[in-house]
Amino acid sequence: MPDKSISKRFVLPMALAIAAALPVLAMAATTQAAPTVAEAEKFIKAAEQRLETLGINSNRAAWVYETHITGDTEAMSAQASEQTLTAASEIALQARRYNKLKLPADSARKLKLLQLNLVLSQAADREAYTRLATTLAGEYGKAKYCSTPGDASSCKDLGQLEQIMADSRDPAQLKDAWIGWHKQAIKYKDNYAQYVALSNKGAREMGYADTGALWRSQYDMPPEQFAAETERLWQQVKPLYDSLHLYVRLKLRQTYGPDVVPKEGPIPAHLFGNMWSQTWDNLYPLLKPQGQNTSLDVGEVLKERKVDAVQMTRFAEGFYTSLGMEKLPASFYENSMLVKPRDREVVCHASAWDIDTLTDVRIKMCINPTTEDFTTIHHELGHIYYDLAYRKQPGLFKNGANDGFHEAIGDTIALSMTPEYLKKIGLLNEVPDPSQDIGVLLHRALEKVAFLPFGYLVDQWRWQVYSGKVEPKDYDKLWWELREKYQGIKRPAAMEENGFDAGAKYHVPADTPYARYFVAHILQFQFHRALCREAGYTGPLNRCSIFENKKAGAKYQAMLSMGQSRPWPEALKQVAGEEKMDASAILDYFAPLKVWLDAQNKELSRQ
């Protein structure tokens, strides 16, 4: 899934949060004896133990807050986070003392990871940062659009508004829901601007140009090289996206008419079946090819059979165990939140949690019996099985090779959710003929290919915000410039005064880096192609499923168990035999669809 989950754990140094630094820790090197390798090793070991203990406390407090939003739980979560981040910053500053030593490879990597943090030296800044971070998450989670001010019955939360976006074909209703939700972000725009300023202050104290530069530095390469890599990958897939975009335009124009959908230029954002136009699969009924009756929509089957949230999760667990991976701990089902409680406010955005960095792993998700949620829970467990696979690594290596890896693991499994797999688990009566594959490929492209430019541009926007190239008054101006350039979509109405449309996307107020999802989309197809080869599969890539293939599972597990112990190109080589990200696997997967789209576009353009 594009961004349906967040992997939640206190990870150092990849927890992209501003840590606190006490002024007394700014040690003067001239008053100290030269450090030794033995001292450095002792320091690193102590740091790992301290951070792991504090991280567990922070995880527990955050879990309680997100599953029971109140003023008290918000304060408790902020306090625990501040304590952990204070320690992280103390350690980051102390780690500088050992930078010139020649350490063993693992120790040198740990020392580098410890310093990928942000630092605030003033107590007032530290308190403001943690308060703003917690408040922004809470304000997003509690936001509702009330179409009739003062009438509580007219208020809808994001889930209800998303349902309208998915189901309605009334342009006026879609536009109302779209505008209503995006207006909510204006309420916390000022808080976000303050947060950005503090974040940058902390990044600069650690020697980075700004927070965006710090984020890009976490890919085992210089910031400018990562930016160049993402552009290279986007250019690889852009022709496929352009063909899909044109097909969708032509079909939407047939549906809504030329007054709603222009013949050229960007398409209004509210027409794509999704609040952010990031995936278009809800439009499939409008775009479905003639003569293609195949559907991998198992939602009706799940409802008819009354398959509940736990059973859906058990199906997903069964995929991983079929690869030879372990069963989930019993505590997983005891501690997870799989359905939305009726008696309290929660953050429903799906997230996977590694509470104690051992076996206390959990999912927080409001599962419904839909195909989307069935796929999402397979994705979620990818995070969980990654957590379990690297739990024997030292504390600082208990993380994904890079953050895109963590998002790609479950999505790789989802690519194996083929008709063959669904039939084997009893959710599909028969496997359709390959001649029906175009419909299935189109449906998947509306999710995966449509997402690519959005996955790319969110952090393009944030990198410019953090760099200071754009001021708060121009947030929306830049946001829509990027969305028109990369996605080919436009705002369905004039910009709001003091608007903050980017803030209507969870990952912006939650300050969750988004390039990971773009990277994950590249990696999941690269992983899928490699694992299919390992399984001995030689047919069309879109027909491959590694379900029940323990040889492919063992190769995957070997990569997962590495955690962050080695630079990500080495982890990629472990599973794919390649050290460079390559989007050609996406082109291989969708090759039959590209031929079909180009033919359809030529025909439809004549009409």
Residues marked active site are found at: 380, 507
Under 8 Å between Cβ of 56 and 10: yes
Nearest to 378 by CA among 303, 429, 436, 325: 325
Question: What secondary structure letter does DSSP report for 103?
Answer: -
Peptide bond into 329 cis (omega under 30): no
Distance CA 588, CA 43 (A): 48
Token pair for 237: 């897939």
CA–chain centroid gap for 389, Å, is 20
Nearest to 21 by CA among 84, 90, 78, 116: 90
Q: Sort 220 into a burial class: Cβ within 10 Å, 0-12 / 13-18 / 19+.
A: middle
Q: Taking the CB of residue 166, how many other CB atoms lie within 10 A of it?
A: 15
Residue labelled with tokens 């990654």: 386
Distance CA 52, CA 84 (A): 9
Q: Taking the CB of residue 546, how many other CB atoms lie within 10 A of it?
A: 27
Listed in sequence order, the residues at least 6 apart from 395 whose beta carbon sits closer than 8 Å to its beta carbon are 12, 48, 49, 51, 52, 357
Distance CA 580, CA 578 (A): 6
Q: Cα angle vertex 473, ends 181, 213, to 5°?
A: 95
Q: Cα angle vertex 204, ends 212, 25, to 5°?
A: 135
Nearest to 524 by CA among 579, 572, 456, 459: 572
Listed in sequence order, the residues at least 6 apart from 266 whose beta carbon sits closer than 8 Å to its beta carbon are 483, 484, 487, 488, 489, 490
